[in-house]
Amino acid sequence: MKTRAGGLIAAVLIAVAGVFIAGVFILQKATGGLVPLADDFIQGQGKPEAYYLKAEDHAEKLNNGKYNYTLTGYDASGHKQQIEAEADEKLRPGAFIKVWAYGTKAGSLTEVHEEEIPEGALAAMKTN
């Protein structure tokens, strides 16, 4: 009787481990893993911050017709931030862009004139 109960417990543990491993695999495929999923959640909780950047000409065209960018933006004080942005259209190379971002994720992108960029951000753009 004890071996039958032990075998049943072992079978249940193996099944639970299999479900857990399958869940981790699905999470990895669907979201890129637990860390990006947590980052998206945490970054979506705060207020967006304004960053400024000069548009570049390298974008990845996505299956949904949008363009994916990894950009380097600067806040009003000149602090640098990598930003992941998705745009409906290609950004005009060399254009100045204001990005409202939640951490590293861009919310909205707007083309601005150089005069609208805070001095700290503009100085950082020109030196980097």
Domain presence at residue 41: no
Same domain flag for 67 and 99? yes
pTM above 0.75, yes or no: no
Per-residue pLDDT of 16-56, as tens digits, reads: 766 766 665 565 555 555 555 555 555 555 688 999 999 88
| Closest alpha carbon to 71 in 125, 126, 127 | 125
C-alpha–C-alpha distance, residues 88 and 94, integer Å: 18
What is the total count of domains within the chain? 2
* Structural domain harbouring 7: 2-32
Domain presence at residue 40: no
Residue 10 host element (H or E): helix 2-31
DSSP state letter for 101: E
Residue 82 has pLDDT above 80, yes or no: yes
What CATH number should be reported for the domain holding residue 84?
Answer: 2.40.50.480
Domain presence at residue 24: yes
Same domain flag for 6 and 64? no
Same domain flag for 89 and 60? yes
Per-residue pLDDT of 84-97, as tens digits, reads: 998 898 999 999 99
Mean pLDDT, residues 108-122: 94
Same domain flag for 69 and 118? yes
Same domain flag for 83 and 108? yes
Residue 106 host element (H or E): strand 105-112
Phi and psi angles of residue 99, each rounded to the nearest 5 degrees, phi first: -120, 130
Are 123 and 78 spatial neighbours (Cβ–Cβ below 8 Å)?
yes
